[in-house]
Chain A
C-alpha cells in the first residue's frame, strides 16, 4: 500500500489557474471512480473539496474541479484567491477495501 504521488508544492498568482496531479496505480485510481481531494489550512481539520473524481460538495466554489485519466487524477483551481493557499491531499479507494492518500501539495498564492 504505497501512498499516491503528489508534487510537494504548486503556486500561482491571484486569478490564475493551477493544477495539482495525483498519480496512483491500476489498483487504486485507475480501478475506482472514488478519487477525492481535501483542503487543509494550518491547524484545521481537512475539508472535502471534490469527491468521486469530479463532484463538488455543497458550498465548495465551482472554481475547484477534478478529473481523472488512467492512473492519474488532477485537481484544478481556477481564479486563484488568497484563501486558496493551503495544503491539498488526494485520496483514492484501493484494493482490499483500503484507502490511500497522497503526500500532500502545498499551494502558494503568490
Chain B
C-alpha cells in the first residue's frame, strides 16, 4: 500500500526558511516522479514543484521559482522541499504526491504558516 507522510511544517517569519520532508513507502520510489502541491487556507490547489525519479530534472511553478528547491534521496525514499525567502502567500498545507501528470496518492499534508 502506498503511504506518504509529510513533516517539517510550522510557523516561520517572512524571509525565513523551512525544509519539508515526505517519507514514501509501498512503491519503488526511485521509479516515479514526485510533486509538491499546496493549498492555502480556504483556497484551491496549487502545484508547486516536481522532480523526476532520478532527481536529475526539476520543475517549479513561477510563484516559487528561485526561492524553493525540490530534491530527493532515493536511498531513504524521501522527498524534500527547501523553502527560502518565505512570504505570507506561502502559507498553506503542503502535500506531497506521487507523479506529475496526475496525483493518485497524497499524504495528509503539513501546514506551513508564514507570519510575524
**In the bound complex, do residue A46 and residue B61 qualify as a contact, i.e. CB atoms below 8 Å apart?**
no
B residues near A45, Cβ cutoff 8 Å? 95, 106-109
**In the bound complex, do residue A101 and residue B44 qualify as a contact, i.e. CB atoms below 8 Å apart?**
yes
A48 contacts which of B47, B50, B102 (Cβ < 8 Å)? B102
**In the bound complex, do residue B59 and residue A48 qualify as a contact, i.e. CB atoms below 8 Å apart?**
no
Chain A interface, >50% SS class: strand
**In the bound complex, do residue B106 and residue A99 qualify as a contact, i.e. CB atoms below 8 Å apart?**
no
A interface size (C-beta, 8 A): 26
B residues near A40, Cβ cutoff 8 Å? 45
Contact with B along A3-20 (1 / 0, CB 8 A): 100000000000000000
B106 contacts which of A46, A57, A101 (Cβ < 8 Å)? A46
B residues near A98, Cβ cutoff 8 Å? 47, 59, 61
- How extensive is the interface on chain B, given as a class? 20 to 34
B residues near A36, Cβ cutoff 8 Å? 101-103
**In the bound complex, do residue B62 and residue A51 qualify as a contact, i.e. CB atoms below 8 Å apart?**
no
**In the bound complex, do residue B62 and residue A97 qualify as a contact, i.e. CB atoms below 8 Å apart?**
no
**In the bound complex, do residue A99 and residue B50 qualify as a contact, i.e. CB atoms below 8 Å apart?**
yes
A residues near B103, Cβ cutoff 8 Å? 36, 38, 46, 48, 91
Ranked nearest first, the 10 interchain pairs of A and B with the lowest CB-CB distance are A99-B47, A51-B102, A36-B102, A45-B106, A104-B44, A34-B101, A101-B45, A97-B59, A48-B104, A103-B44
Mark B residues whose CB is within 8 Å of A: 35, 37, 44-47, 50, 57, 59, 61-62, 95, 100-104, 106-109
Mark A residues whose CB is within 8 Å of B: 1, 3, 34, 36, 38, 40, 45-48, 51-52, 57, 87, 89, 91, 93, 96-104
Interface pairs (25), CB distance under 8 Å: A1-B61, A34-B102, A36-B103, A38-B45, A40-B45, A45-B106, A45-B107, A46-B45, A46-B103, A47-B106, A48-B104, A51-B101, A52-B102, A57-B104, A87-B44, A89-B44, A91-B47, A91-B102, A98-B47, A98-B59, A99-B50, A101-B44, A101-B46, A101-B47, A104-B45
